[in-house]
Structure 1
C-alpha cells in the first residue's frame, strides 16, 4: 500500500523556505523583532481548517506517534482541522518559526521553554504537557557502562546539536549529582542506530537518542546498554507551545488541535495491544521503528507510561503546577535556566478538553 509523504504538500517548499528565511532574519535581530513578526492569529492556517504543526523532531520516529495518529486516524479532522506536520531543524528554529507566524503550535521540551522565556522574555506559553518524564535515552556499551552520573565524568557524549536539549539533559544528570557538567565533553553525532558503531569503537562513551531508536539498538547489539535520564532529571517533559498572541486571538484553533491530540492519546491507551493503532499508522506511514512489530509495541508502551504518568485514569495533557515549578527550580539550581522567573505563569490549562471556561 502506498504511504504518505511525511511532509505535507499543502505547504509548498518555496513558501516554507520563504517563511523560514523570515524567521531566521528575525532571530538575528533579537527577540523584539521576533515577537513583532507574528502574522495572523493562527499563523499558517491558510483557511479551511488548515494548520501547520512545527515539529523539531524528525517525523520518522514514534516519538511523534500522537501527532501521526491524530492525522492518520482522523482525530484532527474530527475537530475541523487539516494539519500539516512540518519538520524544522531543532527547537530553536521551532521557536523562531512559531514566533514568525508560520504555524500556531509546536512541541518543545520543558527545558527549551524554560531557558527561552526568562532569558529573552519570549511570549510563549505551555498549553499542554504531553510526556511526564524524559523521552530521551542514553545508549552506551556494556563494556564501559554509563549507569550512574559518576560514570559520565571524563567521557564524551554524542548529542544531535550543540547546546540543545540533549546536551542540557546530560548536564542535568551530572549537576543533580553535584558534579560539574563540564566534566563530560559533548560531540555532535547522528541519531541513528548506526551511530552505535562510534560507541563500539571507543570514539564516544554514549549518545542521546529517542526511545524507539534505543530499542532498535538494543535489539541489534547484545553489548548495548540504555540509561534513562528521567531517573535523575525531573524537568525533561514535552509540552505543546503557542504564543500569547495566538492564545488570545485564536484559542479555538488551539483547542481543536489539543482535542485531536487528546483523542489520539485516548486511542493508544484504549488499544492495549496497539494492534489497531499501529495498523492505522501503517496505512499512512512507513519507517523502521513503526514497521517492526516488537519495536513499535515496546516503544509505544514506554511512551504510553510517559503520556499518562503511569496512571491512565488521570486527565491527559494537564500541566501539574507543582511539578512544573519544581522543574524550573531544578534548572535554575543547575545553572541551566536563569532564576527569577515566574514559572507558574508560563502554562495555561484552559484550552484542554474538559477545562472549565
Structure 2
C-alpha cells in the first residue's frame, strides 16, 4: 500500500448501517462495502431508502458505506479491494478503463440531471455562460459529476474556466455568496434554497438542457465481479424494491426524507419528494446509446470496446 493511498483512506469516513432485526432466525448476513461521495447526496437517496426500508437486509445483505473525498481515493480503494463498488461518473470509469484498471459500470444510479444547476450569485455581474471565461467555478471534487457538468457548460460556449473543488455543498454555497467563486454546480435542497431565497440565479438548469444520459453509476472491477456477482444481484434486488416502495407509499417516503435530510419544512420536503421521484426510477439498466451520449457530453474518448464499459448482468429481470 502506498503512502498516498493510506492518506486517502484516513480521509474517508466510514458509516455502517445495520438493517432492522428480523424475527425469524437467519444465517449471518454478508456485507457489501460501497464507496460514495456523500451520505446526504440526492444521488444516493435510493440507496439510503433501501437501507432504511430493510430491503437489503431482507436478502441477507448488510451494506457498509464509506465516504471518500473525491474520485481518486474511491478508485484506489476499489483497486485495492477495500470496497466492492463505488459511486462514479461514467467518464471517470472510462478514464480508469483506458488506464487498464478493469473497471466497469454495473448499474445506473440515475438517468437524468433533475435538480442540478449551474448557479451564480444574485449579486454577481455574470448573466450568461460566456461571462465565466477565466472565472472560478466551484465543484465538489475532480472527476465527479459536478466536474462533469461544469465541463459540459464551458464546452457548450467554448470557454475556459478554473474549477475549484470545495468538497461539500455548504462550503460551495458559502463561497458563491461571498464572491470567492463566480459560479457553482449545485443540486438538491441546497440549490433550491439558494434559488428560492433570491441569493442565486440559474445559469443552467441541467435537468432541462441535457439529453438523456447516465451521469452516475456504481462501478466495480473484474476482481470483485468474479466472486461478487450474487452479492450484486442481492444489492440490485433490494435497490429496486426500495424504489417501488418509495413511489407506492408517499407517507413512508416523506417520513424517510424528513429523517434523511433532517428537514421539517413541508414545502422543502414536498420539493425533495418530487425531485427524489426522479432519482428512484427503479430501473438501473443502461444501454450503449445512453453510454455513448454520456461519453460524448463529457468530451472523453473510450479506447476500449463499449462492452467493457458497462454490464446489466447483475440486475434482476424487470417485471
TM-score category (smaller protein): 0.7 to 0.9
TM-score, normalised on structure 2?
0.80
Partner Cα distance (1:229, 1:48) in 2? 40
Greater Cα shift, 239-248 or 224-233: 224-233
Partner Cα distance (2:273, 2:164) in 1? 29
1:196 aligned partner: 173
2:108 aligned partner: 129
Decide whether the 8 Å contact of 1:94 with 1:106 is kept in 2: yes
1:12 aligned partner: none
Can you list the C-alpha shifts for 1:119-153, whole angstroms capped at 9, x where unaligned?
A: x1111111111211236432212444767542432
Partner Cα distance (1:307, 1:214) in 2? 19
1:293 aligned partner: 266
Partner Cα distance (2:73, 2:56) in 1? 24
SS of match in other structure, 1:128: strand
Q: Which of the numbers 205, 208, 215 marks the counterpart of 1:228?
A: 205
2:303 aligned partner: 340
SS of match in other structure, 2:314: coil
The structural deviation recorded for 1:87 is 1.3
SS of match in other structure, 1:203: coil
Decide whether the 8 Å contact of 2:43 with 2:279 is kept in 1: no
The structural deviation recorded for 1:212 is 2.5
2:240 aligned partner: 262
1:41 aligned partner: none
Query: Taking structure 1 as reference, are residues 237 and 303 closer, same or farther at Cα in structure 2, changes over 3 Å only?
Result: farther
Can you list the C-alpha shifts for 1:101-128, whole angstroms capped at 9, x where unaligned?
A: 122122211222122211x111111111
TM-score, normalised on structure 1?
0.72
The structural deviation recorded for 1:169 is 2.3
**Superposed, which structure 2 residues align to 1:104-183 within 5 Å?**
104-118=84-98, 120-134=99-113, 136-144=116-124, 149-162=129-142, 164-177=144-157, 179-180=158-159, 183=160
Partner Cα distance (2:94, 2:168) in 1? 24
Q: Which of the numbers 305, 315, 319 marks the counterpart of 2:278?
A: 305
Decide whether the 8 Å contact of 1:73 with 1:281 is kept in 2: no
Root-mean-square deviation (CA, aligned residues, Å) is: 3.0
Partner Cα distance (1:261, 1:166) in 2? 24
Unaligned runs of 5+ in 2: 9-27
2:193 aligned partner: 216
Decide whether the 8 Å contact of 2:105 with 2:220 is kept in 1: yes
Q: Which of the numbers 298, 315, 319 marks the counterpart of 1:352?
A: 315
Greater Cα shift, 65-74 or 96-105: 96-105
The structural deviation recorded for 1:278 is 2.9
Q: Which of the numbers 50, 61, 79 marks the counterpart of 1:99?
A: 79
Decide whether the 8 Å contact of 2:121 with 2:176 is kept in 1: yes
